[in-house]
Every structure is written in C-alpha cells, then in structure tokens.
Amino acid sequence: MPSKPSEDSTIPVQVQEQMAIEMAATGTAPSLTMAAAMVGAAPMTVMYRRQGRKDRHEEGQRRQKLMPEEERIVLEHCYFRCRLGFPPTIWQLREIATSII
C-alpha cells in the first residue's frame, strides 16, 4: 500500500476528494476507502462527495437568502440599533431583512 502524504501537504481537500473518486473509478485503487487513504482524505467524506453531497461552503451559498449587499445593509441597521442601546430581536431582524428585500 502506498504511503500517506504528509500532513503539511498543500493539496486542497476538495482536490484530494476528487482524486480519490477518480482513482476508484479508473481502478487505480481497489476501493474508494483505499483511494481515500492513499490521498489522505476522509473515507466517509469521499463517499458522500461521490453521492453528490456538497461541502458546507457550497451548501451555505445555495441556502443563502440575502445577497451580500443586502446582508451588509441588515448588519448596518443592527449595529446602529445596538449603538443606540436597543439591539433588535429576531422578529425585528426579520422585519428589517424583509423591508430590504
């Protein structure tokens, strides 16, 4: 079995996961678990990626309701109210966000 790359490897995790999936698909590695071990990726994560699950960052972007500019405006409203000594409640936050959209 080939040795595992060093922990200070500069290969991004997403690239490692994709490499493991390709190694298993082409037959370079006998199994997906072995391919994950060869590139230094977590086996379960590689299995989930192969099934189509997105990473946290991508999924978070998909779920985002406000655009970055709208988010900035909501934050400004919140900071303004906090400086006045009246931090907004969750219901008021929703009203602020809805009024901006």
Angstrom distance (rounded) from CA 90 to CA 20: 43
Element spanning 20, H or E? helix 13-26
Element spanning 74, H or E? helix 68-84
pTM given for the model = 0.56
Tens-digit pLDDT string for the chain (101 aa)? 444 554 555 888 889 999 999 999 999 899 999 999 999 999 999 999 999 999 888 888 888 888 889 999 999 999 999 999 999 999 999 999 899 87
Residue ranges covered by each domain of the chain: 13-53, 63-100
